[in-house]
Structure 1
Amino acid sequence: MLPTTSDHPSASSIQVVAGLGCRRGCSLDELIDLLIHSLAQHELTVDNIVGLASIAHKRDEASLHELAEHLALELVFFAPEQLSPYQALTAGNALTQAATGSPAVAEPCALALAARMGASPCLLGEKNRSASATCALATFDREPA
């Protein structure tokens, strides 16, 4: 069972997005475990998540779509050029660059989605890793309607 904000009422107003990277064939269970671990580090739960993002190179990765469906969230994919403004804020990797066209995936995807959803996107700490995936969380300020 996934923990919810009712377990942490003070965190219920915080909205975050998750940027995800993964190897081909990564399992849904691994993504869920990594996401829950990442959230728990900040005393947050899946109820705090308002969106998921990854790189366009992973558009066909089944587990990413399964995670979005499982959480009933939109999954947004960004092209490498859309992530360029957020690369300076993260450490890149030559292997990731060769595979995806972007030196980093999780952090810039989280920041790009947070910027799309509001103002002042900010990473929540460093990304977390599992054997086959990475997860970065970002917060943002909702712009007044």
Structure 2
Amino acid sequence: MTPQTDQTLVLGLGCDRGTALATLQEAVTQALQQLGASLNEVATLASIDLKADEPALLSLARQLDCPIHFYPAAALAAVPVPNPSTTVLRHTGTPSVSEAAALLAAGASGQPAAPTALRLEKHRWRGADGRNATVSIARRISHHPCPCNKEATHDDSIPRS
């Protein structure tokens, strides 16, 4: 019998509107490789609520069989991150999407995880479609099956086995 891998990683994701699924997949694959981690370790995905209808994000969550949590800009803006961006702030109302979303979803009791929970800072990828994606990876501080906080919205149509 093969031992089961602990699903303790949270992927914080950001992307341009209309990003292809292949671009997001490539960004995630590269980010996990940099960390020396595998898809089997991914517990959940997280992003900004502006992307709650982004087809590539929803498709990736279905493909990975992971829940995805979306946070409002104000909640993301309150999270201290190592790589804030004025460009991201101008477009979304928060200086961070991927790092802040990863830390919020990795937290417990409605509080973000400490910045030390961030295992991979913002990894940027520009796909063949010309669109940009960012991936940040945090380790959950709790093994609760839904590491989210009250401010998040969820796509409950994505099953979790």
TM-score (norm 2): 0.75
Report if aligned partners of 1:80, 1:102 keep a CA contact under 8 Å in 2.
Answer: yes
More helix by share: 1
1:114 to 2:106 alignment: yes
The alpha-carbon deviation at position 50 of structure 1 amounts to: 0.3
- Superposed structure 1 runs of 4+ greater than 6 Å apart: none
- Partner residue in 1 for 2:154: none
Deviation string 1:58-99 (CA, Å, 9 cap, x unpaired) is 11211000100111111110001112331x223222221121
The alpha-carbon deviation at position 143 of structure 1 amounts to: 5.6
Provide closer, same or farther for how the CA distance between residues 29 and 143 of structure 1 changes in structure 2, counting only shifts above 3 A: closer
1:43 to 2:40 alignment: no
* Identical-pair percentage: 30
Report if aligned partners of 1:119, 1:143 keep a CA contact under 8 Å in 2.
Answer: no
TM-score (norm 1): 0.83
2:42 counterpart letter in structure 1: I
- Partner residue in 2 for 1:89: 81
Deviation string 1:36-67 (CA, Å, 9 cap, x unpaired) is 11111122111100000000111121100010
What pairs up with 1:13-92 in 2 under 5 angstroms?
Answer: 13=6, 15-86=8-79, 88-92=80-84
Provide closer, same or farther for how the CA distance between residues 44 and 98 of structure 1 changes in structure 2, counting only shifts above 3 A: same
What pairs up with 1:116-131 in 2 under 5 angstroms?
Answer: 116=108, 120-121=113-114, 122-131=117-126
Distance of 1:80 and 1:18 partners within structure 2: 17
Provide closer, same or farther for how the CA distance between residues 73 and 143 of structure 1 changes in structure 2, counting only shifts above 3 A: closer
Count of aligned pairs: 135
